[in-house]
Structure 1
Amino acid sequence: MRLFKKLTTTVQCLVRLVIACAFTLVSAQAQSASSEDAKKQRSSEQLSTVKSEIAKQKSAIVQVSKKRRQLNAQLKKDDFAIAKVAKAMNNTRNSLKATQDKLTSLAKEKAQLNRDKVQQENALAHQLRTAYTTGQHDYLKMLLNQEESSQVQRSLTYYQYLSKARIAEIEAFQATIARLSEVEIEQQQKAKQLTQLQQTQQSQRAALEKNKAQRKKTLTALRKELLSNKQQLAKLEQEEANLVAELERLARQSALAKNLPGLDKLKRKLRWPVSGRIKHSFGTRKQGYLRWKGVLLSAAVGRQVTSIYSGKVLFSDWLKGYGLVTVIDHGKGYMSLYGHNQALLKNVGDTVEPGEAIAIVGQSGGQSEPGLYFEIRHHGKAVNPKLWCR
């Protein structure tokens, strides 16, 4: 009986132990399940947060891209506004120079006419004195004088000669006086024109400064939208791709021109389009794996850009990243490109000669400093300009 009780007690202890273990196991499993659920909940919340941040970043990128597009459009507008005024100022400068040269020429002519006038006055005075000293003669009496007919004939001839000479001198004097009057009137007109041109130039300078200030604001806004190295590389890639695509289109167009000589025989013989220090050389690193396909020449704003050789203008417009650009076809697959100009002086279809002014140095396309971007391409492939220019 005691043994049975002991066994019963032992069994009861074991049962209680098993129940306790089972409860503990169930409790642990419940806790584990609860912890797993909590982890899942936290992961879900984190994923939602990440997705929200990604959505925000995408939205921000879209907004930045939109803003940059708007700013680039404004930059293009600013560059064209500056180009219009700069071109007008260039024409005004040329008109001023022509007017000043004409005034100088008129002043020289006036001085010579005054000298001629003095000489003619002296000649006329001498003739009058000569006529006076020879006395007054009655031509009718001389004709009726039969005693010295030979002397009369000589006197008549002499007087006729003097009369003709005097008439010629008088006519020359009258022509000098008339031309002197014309010159003085023309001088007054040119002086008035010069004053008007100077006033126009002042107005144009004010308009230019206003447009430059607007472009500066646009550039400041663009620079605030900072790009990462990767984004900057992508931007340059896109700009270069746009340029190549445009040049390929122009190359197809230039293939129609058969009468242009090309640049094959002109290596080391051409002049640079503008004098200045080479800031970036052909083939040097630009950004990432990108290399310079041309050269960037430092030059002062307003300096004239000249064509390296004769050819025909294929392109005269604005390109993103390159500003105001002129492209000239030289024949045989050769083209030259001139970028970042302040103003373009030639239109598509114009023919140009070596050394002829085609543009004005500037900093269009978003450049912080003035200069000229210059390329030479052969069958669409960029070649080193140093092989042609000296």
Structure 2
Amino acid sequence: MLAFIFCLAASAADQKKDLSILDGKIRALRQQMTQLFSKRQSLENELAKIEKQSGHLAKKIRRLKSQSIQLKEKKHDIEKKLAREKAALDRLKSQLAHNIRAAYSIGKQEPLKLLLHQNQVATLSRTLTYYRYFNRARLAEIAQVKQQLASIQALTKSLEQKESHLQSVLEELKQERLALEQLKKSRKKLLSLIKSKLKTQKDKLAQLQKNKHNLEKLIQKAQQASTFLPSINQGKPFHQLKGQLHWPVKGKLVRRFGSRRSSGTRWEGVIIQAPEGTPVRAIYPGHVIFADWLKGYGLLLILKHDNQFMSIYAFNQSLMKNVGDPVEAGEIIATIGRSGGRSSPGLYFAIRKSGKPINPERWCRKTKRGRVS
């Protein structure tokens, strides 16, 4: 009996020891998880910063391209003007040559010859006066030629300056593109690091649920904040356009509304695959109630159309509108990207009615072989 009691005591002591070891392992595991989550948060913050910078660069590149086109048009106009001035100069040279030939036909000693052939003083006076006027006309033509030459030289200098500025703009454009490519590589590296940390489906599910909750809270707050936005001319009401709305971008539907995600949840919108940088257009008039980076959605823009309907555009490369901006149907509001941790470019597009997700395929125009336009 005494041996049995000692045995129980030893067993209890071993269990306490095992429990203490297990608690230590749990604490160590929690500490590791805390460090992991902290690292992931740091990487996601850095990713958000890079994607915002990438968006700003993309916008700047579009502006530089526009400036380059304008400079080429100005260069073309100057070249046409230069051609006109040269033609005018050629005409003046031809006229001057004609006058010189006429003067030569009179002779190098025109005044003396004229004096020898004059019988009357009045006639002589008129001839001499004409000769003076003739010489003055020659001098005026010479001055005009010089003025035209100066004008052409000024135009040439202006053309050279325009060309120099154009080259400078194009070089800046190349540097901006290089910086953008470097940012993209850095972003891919960060994405790889983040994905390597999120190993289990449980982590992905928890993150998606949190993202969904954050988005719903964001939409609710944005709806409340947009109560006093000014009205905008919308034409036909949104609810009467079912099946008639234009899609925000042309491309291929790679994820449909309600399709299952890898985490087990279902998509509450669609994903349209399109080349990076493709313009994204508003499907209906409205006001921007959110335009910023949101975890899980990247660069996100939300349009409020009326008291019931709103549209959501995510994974963008850059945002072209700000909160409070009025937007017309078909107006460019963003560009296609891969923000929010996407591995390939595309647009997440969703429509909500009274805060609840509805199928965009029932509201936009019919798809053709899985493509939208």
* TM norm structure 2: 0.77
* Equivalent position of 1:95 in the other structure: 67
- State the shift of 1:104 in Å: 3.0
Q: For residue 334 of structure 1, what is the amino acid of its counterpart?
A: F
C-alpha distance 359-174 of structure 1, shift in aligned 2 (>3 A): farther
* Equivalent position of 1:229 in the other structure: 201
Q: Does 1:269 align with 2:244?
A: yes
Task: Give CA-to-partner distance per residue, 1:285-322, whole Å, 9 cap, x none.
Answer: 12555221221111222222222233332222111111
Structure showing greater Rg: 1
> Distance between the aligned counterparts of 2:174 and 2:290, measured in 1?
31
Task: Please tell me whether the aligned partners of residues 259 and 331 of structure 1 are also in contact (alpha carbons under 8 angstroms).
Answer: no
Q: Does 1:42 align with 2:31?
A: no
Task: Give CA-to-partner distance per residue, 1:371-390, whole Å, 9 cap, x none.
Answer: 22122223222222222245
Q: For residue 385 of structure 1, what is the amino acid of its counterpart?
A: P
Task: Please tell me whether the aligned partners of residues 89 and 201 of structure 1 are also in contact (alpha carbons under 8 angstroms).
Answer: yes
* Equivalent position of 1:106 in the other structure: 78
Task: Please tell me whether the aligned partners of residues 326 and 344 of structure 1 are also in contact (alpha carbons under 8 angstroms).
Answer: yes
C-alpha distance 244-51 of structure 1, shift in aligned 2 (>3 A): same
Q: Does 1:259 align with 2:232?
A: yes
> Distance between the aligned counterparts of 1:125 and 1:270, measured in 2?
71
C-alpha distance 359-180 of structure 1, shift in aligned 2 (>3 A): farther
Q: For residue 258 of structure 1, what is the amino acid of its counterpart?
A: S
Task: Give CA-to-partner distance per residue, 1:249-283, whole Å, 9 cap, x none.
Answer: 22223333433425233333333222221111112
> Distance between the aligned counterparts of 1:328 and 1:123, measured in 2?
69
- More moved, 355-364 vs 180-189: 180-189
1:8-19 pair list within 5 angstroms: none
Task: Please tell me whether the aligned partners of residues 284 and 291 of structure 1 are also in contact (alpha carbons under 8 angstroms).
Answer: yes
* TM norm structure 1: 0.74
Task: Please tell me whether the aligned partners of residues 273 and 306 of structure 1 are also in contact (alpha carbons under 8 angstroms).
Answer: yes
Q: For residue 358 of structure 2, what is the amino acid of its counterpart?
A: V
* Equivalent position of 2:318 in the other structure: 343
Q: For residue 91 of structure 1, what is the amino acid of its counterpart?
A: R
- More moved, 202-211 vs 180-189: 180-189
- What is the aligned residue count? 344
* Equivalent position of 1:51 in the other structure: 23
Q: For residue 276 of structure 2, what is the amino acid of its counterpart?
A: V
Q: Give the one of 50, 53, 63 matched to 1:78.
A: 50
Q: For residue 254 of structure 1, what is the amino acid of its counterpart?
A: S
> Distance between the aligned counterparts of 1:276 and 1:173, measured in 2?
61
* Equivalent position of 2:329 in the other structure: 354
> Distance between the aligned counterparts of 1:199 and 1:267, measured in 2?
48
* Equivalent position of 2:166 in the other structure: 194
* Equivalent position of 1:388 in the other structure: 364
* Equivalent position of 1:155 in the other structure: none
- More moved, 358-367 vs 268-277: 268-277
> Distance between the aligned counterparts of 1:237 and 1:350, measured in 2?
30
Task: Please tell me whether the aligned partners of residues 223 and 289 of structure 2 are also in contact (alpha carbons under 8 angstroms).
Answer: no
SS of corresponding position for 2:53: helix
* Equivalent position of 2:339 in the other structure: 364
SS of corresponding position for 1:243: helix
SS of corresponding position for 1:240: helix
List, as ranges, runs of 4+ consecutive aligned residues in structure 1 with deviation greater than 6 Å. Answer: 119-133, 172-179
Task: Please tell me whether the aligned partners of residues 316 and 326 of structure 1 are also in contact (alpha carbons under 8 angstroms).
Answer: yes
Task: Please tell me whether the aligned partners of residues 251 and 333 of structure 1 are also in contact (alpha carbons under 8 angstroms).
Answer: no
Percent identity reads 33
SS of corresponding position for 1:285: coil
SS of corresponding position for 1:192: helix
Task: Please tell me whether the aligned partners of residues 255 and 333 of structure 1 are also in contact (alpha carbons under 8 angstroms).
Answer: no
Task: Please tell me whether the aligned partners of residues 313 and 352 of structure 1 are also in contact (alpha carbons under 8 angstroms).
Answer: yes
Q: Give the one of 288, 308, 322 matched to 2:297.
A: 322
C-alpha distance 132-361 of structure 1, shift in aligned 2 (>3 A): farther
Task: Please tell me whether the aligned partners of residues 363 and 371 of structure 1 are also in contact (alpha carbons under 8 angstroms).
Answer: yes
C-alpha distance 207-227 of structure 1, shift in aligned 2 (>3 A): same
